[in-house]
Structure 1
Amino acid sequence: MGDLEVVEICAGAGGQALGLEKAGFEHALAVELDTNACNTLRENRPSWKVAQGDVADPETWNPAAYEGVALLAGGVPCPPFTIAGKQLGATDERDLFAWAVELVNVVKPRALLLENVRGLSLPRFAGYRQHVLDRLAAFGYQASWQLLQASDFGVPQLRPRFVLVAMREADEAAHFAWPATVGHVTTVGESLEELMASDGWEGAGAWASKADRIAPTIVGGSKKHGGADLGPTRAKRAWAELGVDALGVADAPPKAGDTYKVGPKLTTEMVARIQGWSDDYQWTFTGRKTTRYRQIGNAFPPPVAAAVGGAIMRAFNLEGERAERRDVEHDPIYKALRSADEFITAERLGRLAGVTDTPELERRISMLSRDFEIEIEASGPVVAYRLGGFKAFLGQAEHTRHEQFHKHRTRIS
């Protein structure tokens, strides 16, 4: 592998890919399931090797062939963790986060970059996050999580992303620092005034003055739902306050003489601008309007990917001040259970984890049991617990993920 090559899994239509390219990485491989997204990748970067198919299927690509690559990156599926969903986590057949972490032990990259939705940062997934950190430590990597706001990096949108970065070399890990914000918050009006005026609409200036905030999070949606749409009811209200009709996406910008009750609809080009594509991040999206919108809406904003990629690159070059890494404990109950080879009474577990309130301890164990098998042993009033297996798909040949994946293949995007 080249010194600065990246293998990107679940690459989508290229938001993270373009950002990492801007940071100085070269793509050794991009793996993506969706046909339209693969077409977009090939349209923009004909020289890239793009593997289309299920990323967890060995017939799609051979991870061992990329051992030693500089960076393993990806934006694995979000539905297992999204606040708007059921938050099934490890039991969701779409969950590939834990599998991607196990992939590190095969590919052995210098660094790992994975991004997902804010939901993964919530208490519901404390045990899941602890498992991830512990597995990476077992592989010899130092890892940390950070919640990044796209609007802090020049993207005119409320788009929080929970990002994991892990480094293999201790010196490089010590030099890794999360990227600094750009300082200036770009508004929707600043971003889109030129595009709104591009076909002669006289109201563009007044519209831009009203659209003086960042946008709600763009929701790409999936094949299970209808056409292009800017989000749920609350998001539509926020768009209306910005002077945007969120009930669909327009084929063209407003024309001279057009008038609106709420405001114009956005075109896919405008949605891409809201998502961080611009003159500095140029990209062409293939397919019909709805597929273009989904590709754009499901992407990792390129400026955010560039900022994180740049931070990783600086760590590779040992730039910046060296910092001592401190272990962050996400779930002391999980850690206490994991360190024991036998059942632990609730009383002792509470002491080890610092949780003295019995109902709170039971609530957190219940939450943990959604992702892990928890064995319970009761002897009269004394209850004891032992940590069992992790329920997530880690590459097991017999895992239910395979059956569910093929059953819902046509609806997965």
Structure 2
Amino acid sequence: MRAIELFAGAGGLAIGTAKAGFHHEAVLEWNPDACETIRENKRRKVELVRDWEVVECDVRKYDYSLLGEGIDLVAGGPPCQPFSLGGKHRGHEDERDMFPEAVRAVRELKPKGFMVENVKGLLRQSFASYFGYIILQLTHPEIVKREGEEWPDHLKRLERHHTGKGRRSGLNYQVVFRLLNAADYGVPQRRERVVIVGFREDQFPAWSFPSPTHNEERLIWDQWVTGEYWERHEVAKRRRPKCPEAIKARLDRLRGEGCPSGEAWKTVRDAIADLPDPTRGNGGETFHNHLFNPGARSYPGHTGSPWDAPAKTLKAGGHGVPGGENMLLGADGGVRYFTVRESARLQTFPDEYVFRGAWGEVMRQLGNAVPVNLALAVASSVKAHLMSA
């Protein structure tokens, strides 16, 4: 099925949708380093990306008529900084707000469906009206903002159109959204993201988000009831951490209910334990981008991720520490930066996928990326629905 990727970044969402079976007719991104990352993987003939048409451009200037008709999916993650919990919270007043461009792509391409990702901060109360405005624009993309019209007035027109009597004509979508935790879909990272999915009305849009496949209760069971987790990782009993008090309070209930269904959350140890220790200087000999970077330090709000839980949310930097919370917490309480390869593992990029740019820029690419496996889970469900429709 034919797709286009907007705001591609390093390609996490695009790889996930490609693994689900979508063929990208164009992959749009403005950042030169992110584009070079994708091009490098094309040169290396990485299977999922080797046929992508990478377009380094400002999406506001892209001509969608170049793609012709018959696009099945528009996918993308508009820049999250206007809505990020760590940003300046300017929302629609931020010049980086690219949601209007996502709406334009839907309006001009008329895809069978779309899939848009953004940060949890988009759901904060201060953005509630604007988020409703985004959803209604994606629902009725042909109800265009008039010249000189303020967005609250455009919102009113959209609301009247949406609630008006009679059958709506023109291009309309059935739109749903949900806050998803990537850890619930096999990503070794607690990463909450808003995902918006829409289907054109002629696609019989009786669809819902895929159910989680992984859960914390099963991880607790494997660690503190059966011990299977420690045995699998060959962690001797004397080296195992003590069960946290917060977990102890849940063990009696879990034992009474029996083994939880589903798979266990993936942990940092699950993701990176087989990689060589980068502090010994030999990491980059076997794995791409697996080089130690010194200088990590812990301070309030940036304390690193423990080995035996999903990682904290990787961030894009700009918070005092390059790479934000991109640190591993050792058993001795010390921290070190995750290497690029370790960070890529936490974002479920394949090991053959390499990253280009200075270390801080690469960490920004990874911190902004959509976890591949989260994208795959949603995109697979979207594709299955489009095929059945």
Same fold, TM-score > 0.5, yes or no = yes
Deviation for aligned residue 1:221: 2.6
Q: Kindly indicate whether residue 346 of structure 2 is the aligned counterpart of residue 274 of structure 1.
A: yes
Query: Which deviates more from structure 2 when the two are superposed, residues 63-72 or residues 184-193?
Result: 63-72
Q: Kindly indicate whether residue 311 of structure 2 is the aligned counterpart of residue 215 of structure 1.
A: yes
Letter in 2 for 1:243: G
CA distance in structure 1 between the aligned counterparts of 2:276 and 2:308, rounded to whole angstroms = 15
CA contact (8 A) 1:12 1:37 kept: yes
Report the counterpart of residue 317 of structure 1 in structure 2: 387
Q: Kindly indicate whether residue 384 of structure 2 is the aligned counterpart of residue 308 of structure 1.
A: no
Deviation for aligned residue 1:121: 1.5
Report the counterpart of residue 64 of structure 1 in structure 2: 65
SS in 1 for 2:337: coil
Report the counterpart of residue 177 of structure 1 in structure 2: 208
Report the counterpart of residue 158 of structure 1 in structure 2: 190
Report the counterpart of residue 148 of structure 1 in structure 2: 180
CA distance in structure 2 between the aligned counterparts of 1:26 and 1:12, rounded to whole angstroms = 17
CA gap 1:65/1:181 in 2 versus in 1, 3 angstroms:
same
Report the counterpart of residue 131 of structure 1 in structure 2: 133
Q: Kindly indicate whether residue 108 of structure 2 is the aligned counterpart of residue 106 of structure 1.
A: yes
CA distance in structure 1 between the aligned counterparts of 2:176 and 2:72, rounded to whole angstroms = 18
Structure 2 counterpart of 1:121, from 120, 123, 145: 123
CA distance in structure 2 between the aligned counterparts of 1:291 and 1:83, rounded to whole angstroms = 20
Deviation for aligned residue 1:265: 3.2
CA contact (8 A) 2:356 2:362 kept: yes
CA distance in structure 2 between the aligned counterparts of 1:230 and 1:140, rounded to whole angstroms = 40
Deviation for aligned residue 1:62: 0.9
Report the counterpart of residue 21 of structure 2 in structure 1: 24
With structure 1 as the length reference, what TM-score do the two structures score? 0.63
Structure 2 counterpart of 1:229, from 298, 305, 322: 322
CA contact (8 A) 2:179 2:192 kept: yes
Letter in 1 for 2:53: K
Deviations 1:195-233 (A, max 9, x none): 1458879xxxxxxxx6111111101236xx77x7242xx
Deviation for aligned residue 1:263: 4.5
CA gap 1:185/1:261 in 2 versus in 1, 3 angstroms:
closer
Q: Kindly indicate whether residue 9 of structure 2 is the aligned counterpart of residue 12 of structure 1.
A: yes
Report the counterpart of residue 204 of structure 1 in structure 2: none
Deviation for aligned residue 1:97: 1.1
SS in 1 for 2:353: coil
Deviation for aligned residue 1:132: 2.4
Identity %: 37
CA gap 1:6/1:262 in 2 versus in 1, 3 angstroms:
same
Equivalent residue pairs, number? 279
Letter in 2 for 1:47: D
CA contact (8 A) 1:171 1:318 kept: no
Structure 2: give runs of 5+ residues left out of the alignment. 42-48, 141-170, 215-263, 282-305
Letter in 2 for 1:285: F
CA distance in structure 1 between the aligned counterparts of 2:88 and 2:189, rounded to whole angstroms = 25
CA contact (8 A) 1:112 1:167 kept: yes
Report the counterpart of residue 370 of structure 1 in structure 2: none
Deviation for aligned residue 1:182: 1.9
Structure 2 counterpart of 1:243, from 320, 330, 337: 330
CA gap 1:179/1:94 in 2 versus in 1, 3 angstroms:
same
Q: Kindly indicate whether residue 371 of structure 2 is the aligned counterpart of residue 284 of structure 1.
A: no
CA gap 1:68/1:171 in 2 versus in 1, 3 angstroms:
closer
Deviations 1:169-216 (A, max 9, x none): 444411x22122222200111111111458879xxxxxxxx6111111
CA contact (8 A) 1:277 1:302 kept: yes
Deviations 1:347-370 (A, max 9, x none): xxxxxxxxxxxxxxxxxxxxxxxx
CA gap 1:221/1:53 in 2 versus in 1, 3 angstroms:
farther
Q: Kindly indicate whether residue 379 of structure 2 is the aligned counterpart of residue 299 of structure 1.
A: no
SS in 2 for 1:195: coil
Report the counterpart of residue 337 of structure 2 in structure 1: 265
Deviation for aligned residue 1:19: 0.4
With structure 2 as the length reference, what TM-score do the two structures score? 0.66
CA gap 1:85/1:197 in 2 versus in 1, 3 angstroms:
closer
Report the counterpart of residue 393 of structure 1 in structure 2: none
CA distance in structure 2 between the aligned counterparts of 1:8 and 1:263, rounded to whole angstroms = 36
Report the counterpart of residue 53 of structure 1 in structure 2: 57
SS in 2 for 1:76: coil
Q: Kindly indicate whether residue 262 of structure 2 is the aligned counterpart of residue 194 of structure 1.
A: no
* RMSD, matched Cα: 2.5
CA contact (8 A) 2:4 2:74 kept: yes
CA distance in structure 1 between the aligned counterparts of 2:95 and 2:37, rounded to whole angstroms = 26
Deviations 1:243-264 (A, max 9, x none): 28xxxxxxxxxxxxxxx76144
